[in-house]
A = this chain, B = another copy of it.
Amino acid sequence: MKKVVLAADLGGTNLRIAAVDETGQLLRLVKKPIPSEVSPRNLMEQIGEMAEECCLPEVAAKRSFSAVAFTAPAPVAKDFDGVLTKLPNIPSLVGMNLKAELEKLFDLPVTIENDATAAGIGENWIGASKGIENAICVTLGTGIGGGIIVNGEPIRGKDGIGGEVGHICVEPEGFSCGCGSHGCVEQYASATALVRSARDRGMRIETAKDVYDAFKAGNGMADAVFRSMGRHLGIMLAGLVNALNPEMLVICGGVTQGWDAFASHTEAEIRNRAYAVGAERAKLVRGLLGDNAGIIGAARSAFLSMK
């Protein structure tokens, strides 16, 4: 019988739980909002209920899962002990020993990954960079995250904050960033940045989608917004191309819906800045797994840890 893991993706607003098989297929997926300031106890109850909904005929009961895979927007180092130390979007869970709680609830081995790292692992397993030894996955959403694969292994870093490419500087004297620095690429190439950049140009828009709609309608200001956004993303990626010489740059997240508005500017900036051989090598592509990249990547880590 094929092994199946119970994989969960804890985001700032939703909890998603899925049954994932050894080929990365989602056999069932349940998604529910989590209350703001959710307590550890309520979270565990919700996980338990949603896990029941994920039970499949072929895995009869939750004990038939081989393992639990979890991804959260928190630092996860190689020697991670399971305690959530930093969780900007869900502060009510800080201090919780997620690993211990999951082990108690399911009586199964538990693997936890950072969400952006998991997305990189997922895309590297069955997505855009499938099987590629050196790939950088950048998620452009409200903020910017990254999952870096080098020599076939994810870079977690000593404290589990490896891959935080959203806070690489692209304008030394630029906008202040929530991380405490200024000029971070997150301030220039996230959905949030698109909205600010458009408003700064006098556009009356609400969302990044509005900017894209204006771009599609031929609005020159919207074009300038995406040009600047794409260029700053390219400055950051060119640096990583020189440092890591990857074969692929995978761009994920909601902002990729504006791909035709920015990708060519990003490519041009990488070509203008990175070593020619590196720029030519690093193919810029969109992620293939959408919102499921993280949950699939977490499942992959769980399967690997069983071997």
Closest to A173 in B: B171
* Contact residues on A (Cβ < 8 Å of other chain), bracket: 35 or more
The answer to whether A134 and B151 have CB atoms under 8 Å apart is no
Nearest CB of B to A246, in Å: 7
Query: Which A251-301 residues have a C-beta within 8 angstroms of B?
Result: 272-278, 281
The interface residues of chain B lying within 8 Å CB-to-CB of A146 are: 243
Assess whether A164 is in contact with B235, with CB atoms less than 8 Å apart: no
Indicate if A83 sits at the interface (CB-CB under 8 A).
no
The residues of B that contact A272 with a CB separation of less than 8 Å are 180-181
**Are B245 and A160 interface neighbours, CB within 8 A?**
yes
This chain: copies in complex: 2
The 0/1 profile, CB within 8 Å of B marked 1, for residues 154-167 of chain A is 01111111111101
Q: Are A161 and B240 in contact (CB under 8 A)?
A: no
**Which residues between 231 and 245 of chain A lie within 8 Å of chain B, taking CB atoms?**
235-236, 238-240, 242-245
A198-241 toward B: CB 8 Å interface, digit per residue (1/0)?
Answer: 00000000000000000000000000000000000001101110
Contacts of A240 in B (CB 8 A): 243
A133 to chain B, nearest CB (A): 7
Does the CB pair B172–A171 fall under 8 Å?
yes
A150 CB to nearest chain B CB (Å): 5
Q: How far is the CB of A159 from chain B (nearest CB, A)?
A: 5
Please determine whether B242 and A158 come into contact, CB atoms closer than 8 angstroms. no
How many angstroms between the C-alpha atoms of A236 and B168 in the bound complex? 8
21 contacts between A and B (CB under 8 A): A134-B157, A146-B243, A150-B151, A155-B243, A155-B244, A157-B244, A157-B245, A157-B278, A158-B246, A161-B245, A162-B245, A163-B243, A167-B242, A167-B274, A168-B242, A169-B235, A169-B238, A181-B238, A181-B272, A181-B273, A239-B239
